[in-house]
Each structure stands twice: as C-alpha cells, then as structure tokens.
Amino acid sequence: MKSDQEKMDLVGRYLAGETTATETSRLEQLMLADEQLRQDFLAYARVDAALPGMISGTGSLLDFAEAPAQTDRSWKGWIAGAVAVCAVVAWLASASFLSKEAAEVAHIAELKNCRWMHQSEASVEGTPLRVGQRIELSEGQAKVLFDTGAELQLEGPSILEVKGPNAAFLILGSAEVLADSKESQGFTLGTPSSRFVDLGTAFTASVAPDGLSRLEVSDGEVNLIVDHDHQHQLLGAGQAMLVEPGERKILTRIESGDASKDFRFPTIIPPSNQDYADISQGFASASVGRGLLRSRPNWTVNPKSILDGSGQTNQDSPQESVFFENDVKNGSLLIDLGKAISIAKINSYSWHQHNRIPEHNDRAQQKFTLFGWPDKELPNLEIPARESGWVRIARVNSEQFFHVKQLDNRPSQQACSIFASKGEIGEYRYLLLEVNGPTFFGEIDVYKAE
Amino acid sequence: MYRPEIENHEQFLHLYVECEESLRGFVRSLLPTLEDAREVMQETAAVLWKKFDQLDDPENFRRWAFGVARFEVLAYRRDKARDRHIFGEELLTQLALESEKIALDSDREIKALKSCLAKLPPKHSALVREAYDKDLKIKQIAEREGRTPMSVYKVLHRARMALADCVKETLEGEEARA
C-alpha cells in the first residue's frame, strides 16, 4: 500500500464498521483529495470482499440467483439457472483448490445419468475423493461413499465439497445423507447458512442459489446448528426446517396437524389468544394489502379472523377463514401491530378440505413471503414489497415442504412457525404476507420478544 | 432443442462474472460490514438478473451494473438507517467510476489472492481463515484465541494490506512477463 499507515488504519477501521461519524467524514475528505488513497481503499475492500468466498468456497456467483417466488421464474428456469451457475463455478474453480497432500476420504460409488459441469477426476465410479475436492453435477445422481460409511446421494444440479473424513459442504442443490454406522455418526453437512450434524440417521438437505437451506429428517435425529452463534435445533424423523440466509438466521418450521378443531401439531403450539397480535389484546389489526378477499352476497371474508385467537372449527369453513377471490394471484395481508415491537415468533395456521371431494384441499397450502416494516408510514402497498423497501423475513412454501405432487397427499391442516435462531426476528410495526397461491388462513399469531 | 432461458443465463453470467469482483469491492467499500456487502451484492445481482431483459446493449452492462449497485447501496443504507457511514455523492461517484475502470480478470485475481494467502505467515493465515471461513466477529475470535480484540483486529488489518499488496504485485508481474 502506498498510502501512509495512519490513512490505511482509518480505512481498516471504516471497513470494520468502527469509525465514528467524524472519522468517516475525515476519511471522505482525505479520499476526495487523494487518488492513491482511493485506489488503496478499493484494493483493500476487494480483498476483504473476496476472502469469504475464496476461503469457504461460497458466496461468489451463487449470490446472484433468486428463489423462484421472488423472480417469477419457473422452477425449470431455476434449474437452468443453476446449471449455468454450476458451469461458471466450475470454470472459476478450475484453478485447482486441491492440495496434492489432501487425504482421500471418500469415493464415487455410483453414477446414474450424470452430466458433469467440469471435466474432473470424479467422473467415473470408484474415483477417490480428497479433502477439498469439489463435485459439480449438472444432471443425474451421484453417490459419494465416505470411508466412515456415510453415504451421500447427490441430485443434479448440485455442487458439493468434501470437507473432511466425515464432513461435506453443500454449496448448491440437493443431497440425501445416510449415516447410520457407528463410524459415520456425527457426519456433518455444512450449507451456506447452517450445519446439519447427523446423530445416526438419514436426512435430505437442499440449498437454493441464494443460500436458503432446507433440512428434512427421514429417520433418527439431526442437530441443526446455525453458524455464528452455535445455536442448535434437534429435528426428529418426519420433521423439516428451512434456514434463511442473512445475519439473523430466520428458521421456518412447517408441520401437518391432526385435522381437528384443536389444531394439534407435533411441536408447533395451537392457535392462541395470548399472543401480542390477538384482537383481545387490543393492539393489532389486520387488513388486505393487495387483492380482493372472497365475497358472497350474504357474507364477506373478514381479515380480522386471523387475529381472533382460534383456527377454524371445521375443515371447510369459509366464514372463519381468510382467503382471496380465485383470480387473485398475488394478494397480500397486512398486520398492523400498533407500534414497532420486537418480535420473537410468528405462527400461521390453515385448514381446508372439501367435505365430499378429497382432492379439493388446495387452499390448505401456505405459500407466502413474510416482510416487516418498522416505521409508522407505510410504502405503497400496490408495489411489490421487494421493490418498496420492505425487509424480507422468511419465505414459506408448504407445497415444496410436503412434496405435494398429487392433490391428495397435501395435509389439509398446516402450521408454520417462523423464529430466529437466537433472539428476536426483528423490530417491526407492520407485517406483510405476500401470498403466492391459494390459502385458507385460520389464524396468525405474533409473539412479542420478552 | 432451443432453450432461450439457458442462453440468456449464460450471457448474463458471462457479463456478470467479468465485473463481479470489482463490483463486490465497490459495494464493500461503501458498507460498514461484510454481511451488509453480501446482502447488497445479493440484491444487486438479483436486480441485474431480473432486469437483464431491459438492457439494450451488453456493452453497457458494466456501467449499468455499477449504477444498480450504487442505487442498492443507498437503498440499503436508507432502509437500515445506517446513515453515519454514508459518503457524500461526490466521493460515491468517484469510487464508482474508478471501480468501474478497473479492468479486472476475476479468475486471475482470485488465483493471485489464493497464492498470496499461502504466503502469509502461518499464524496470520490461520487467523484470516478462521475469521472468513466461519465469519466470526473479532470479539469471538479473540475469545477463542485468548487474545485481545485489538490485537486480532491489527493482525487481520495487516494481513489484508499484505494481501492487497501481494495481489497487485502478482498481477503486475504476470503482465510484465506476458
């Protein structure tokens, strides 16, 4: 660096977020007058920005893509995007990240209809895999067998890095893990937002291009550890969890209920009248942000029903549910909490099953993006929340969660619980649910942080 | 089979990759933390991709990308109310123009950075890896290492400066040999 030490110390402190307003202003004046300092400042910032991606193997090109719900791109489009991402990642990774001394800890055990994004060593069955080696699969399935006995079935498009004798990192895509031997116990699969530690079991993990991670346990138990604060959640068979990327690490749990008016779920508590947003507490109100709620000559859906402290009393009760007219594709519901409060948890509940036609339960699904707004003055609700400055809290897609492929395998009663891995979700005055599909909400509970 | 979506992705990625590192550095230079920069880069890339169809001429991609990034940084700061770190318009424009001009070959720069990282003293290299791999805060590293936060900060600061110097020298050396 050609700039003097004092100036560079100021640069370092600025990029560490440590400067006072006076120091920031001084740095600004110095840089305006000094081209060399600007160059050194930018070079320093580029190093700082590139290191996380280079060291952890993530964070570079994978940042660009959006989840399908946000971009209106189709799932097929996403796959195509992911394939393209894989191609470029492979290209950038061509400057081998591998150490010649790295130990062989696994091998490719089985390949099915595979197409690789990069002509690598891992292209035939039996190929050994070293620590630090990446597998970049654009199509098909590849089974990786660790020497500990842990099996990992990759589904293309996926990018995986072998991290150790009993550990891997899923950068993108989907992997099924079976680690039921004594030696493989504790197998760890890292993702950009969390780590999944196997406790003698089987689970599936997936990672979207923007780092949204999903864990689904099919057998035994898995510890989900959110990075930074080492908070963990223990998930048992049949349970699943989403982890949003970002500083707060928002977790989303979705469960199916017992399809009774008691709304019983494995771990999520039933609808409550004790939450902060309940009508009886006198603080909050609900209204429509965008779109038209269902209306009939003798009744109209009342948005307040989602804050009345209870779910529906039967499986097909339109007058106790909040839902949109059939032609509304992107409606939104607004909850005004009266003032900005620190939120600990948000639970949403839905229940819909036609009394005679089993296939008619599509409104049971919960597909929405939850946003928060801290100030009293709201932006224009006709503009999509992403474009008007709302803070995205979580994305919910119960259809994906329950692998709904046929109408009759959709749970008719569902609950979704959104919370932070540690502390609160954030401080917001308004919550906005941008709904991306049919729904039949019975209740939404908002719990204030203590 | 003609698959326009893939063609579109490929063109986007090609253009994006060309300016990604300088764009990332620019965004990072205007925000107080790496996490902020990461979020804004994510947002910027999403906007670029979403509006890619509206770009008339791929030749203008770089300028357009820096304009979008600048807007996203300002929007982010406004939303997060992190005003105390805002540079004025004049410096912001200057930094954007200068970042835009840096004709970086991302692949070469990343390779250079990797080789420079290997040249750091082992203790410094280990600390850098710990800080960036696990994205730990200085205070957390200090606790784990039994050091003061100030000493950790100083080592990381010196390591970043050494890396920036080393990358510059490596790239200049390669160019001189070419």
pLDDT tens for each residue of A133-187 = 888 887 889 999 999 999 999 988 888 888 888 999 988 889 999 998 888 888 9
Query: Nearest CA to CA, how far is A325 from chain B (Å)?
Result: 28
Question: Is A49 in the B-facing interface, judged by CB distances under 8 Å?
Answer: yes
* Tens-digit pLDDT profile for residues A83-124: 334 333 333 333 232 333 457 899 999 888 887 765 554 567
Q: What ipTM is given for this predicted complex?
A: 0.84
What would the mean pLDDT of B9-22 be, rounded to a whole number? Answer: 76
Interchain pair B107, A210: CB under 8 A: no
By C-alpha distance, which of B99, B106, B116, B115 is closest to B21? B106
The pLDDT assigned to A440 comes to: 93
Confidence of residue B22 (pLDDT cuts 50, 70, 90): confident
Does this model's pTM top 0.90? no
- Comparing A159-163, A392-396, A440-444, B135-139, which segment has the lowest mean pLDDT? B135-139
- B82 has a pLDDT exceeding 60: no
Furthest CA-CA distance within chain B: 61
Task: Report CB contact under 8 Å: A17, B111.
Answer: no
Residues in chain A: 450
Residue B3: pLDDT over 70: no
pLDDT digits (tens, 9 = 90+) for A322-364: 999 887 778 999 999 999 999 999 999 999 988 888 778 888 9
B151 close to A (CB below 8 A): no
Please determine, for residue A74, whether its predicted confidence score (pLDDT) is greater than 50: no
B91, A60: Cβ pair inside 8 Å? no
Q: How confident is residue A262, by pLDDT bands cut at 50, 70 and 90?
A: very high
Question: Token match 């897609």: residue?
Answer: A397
Residue pair A77/A68 in contact (Cβ under 8 Å)? The answer is yes
- Residues A397-431 pLDDT 10s: 998 888 887 656 789 999 999 998 778 899 999 99
What rounded mean pLDDT belongs to chain B?
A: 79
Question: Is the peptide bond preceding residue A271 cis, with omega within 30 degrees of 0?
Answer: no
Give helix then strand counts, H and E, for chain A: 6, 22
Q: Do B94 and A9 touch (CB under 8 A)?
A: no
Cβ A217 vs Cβ A201: under 8 Å:
yes
Dist CA A146 CA A162 (whole Å): 9
The gap from C-alpha A355 to its chain's centroid, in whole angstroms, comes to 34
Answer whether residue B155 shows pLDDT above 50. yes
Q: Is the pLDDT of residue A449 over 50?
A: yes
Q: How far is residue B143's CA from residue A412's CA, in Å, rounded to a whole number?
A: 49
Give the pLDDT of residue B161: 93
Interchain contact A64–B (C-beta under 8 A): yes
pLDDT at A75 over 60: no
**Helix (H), strand (E) counts: chain B:** 8, 0
* Residues 337-376 (A) with a CB less than 8 A from some CB of B: none
Structure confidence at residue B103 (pLDDT): 55
Query: CA–CA separation, A107 vs A97, rounded Å?
Result: 18
Contacting residues of B for A59, CB less than 8 Å apart: 38
pLDDT of residue B59: 80
User: In this predicted structure, which of A284-293, A388-397, A405-414, B100-109 has the lowest mean pLDDT?
Assistant: B100-109
At residue B105, the pLDDT reads 61
Strand A250-256 and strand A221-226: pairing? Answer: unpaired
Is B50 part of the contact surface with chain A (CB cutoff 8 Å)?
yes
What does the mean pLDDT of chain A come to?
82
- Give the one of A1, A50, A92 whose C-beta lies nearest to B113's C-beta: A50
| Burial (Cβ within 10 Å: 0-12, 13-18, ≥19) of residue B81 | exposed
Q: Quote the strand ranges of A47-166, DSSP E.
A: 104-116, 128-130, 134-146, 151-164
- C-beta atoms surrounding A83 within 10 Å: 20
Q: A139 and A87 in contact (C-beta within 8 Å)?
A: no
Compare CB distances from A50 to B24, B133, B168 and report the shortest one's residue: B24
CA contacts within 13 A on the Cβ side of B98: 22
* Interchain pair B111, A95: CB under 8 A: yes
Tokens found for residue A221: 């138990």
A 380-409 near B (Cβ less than 8 A): 389, 391
**pLDDT at residue A77, as a whole number:** 39
* Chain B residues near residue A50 by CB distance under 8 angstroms: 21, 24-25, 109-110, 113
Of A23-27, A318-322, B50-54, the range with the lowest mean pLDDT is B50-54
Q: Does B130 touch chain A (CB under 8 A)?
A: no
Contact B46 A64 (CB under 8 A): yes
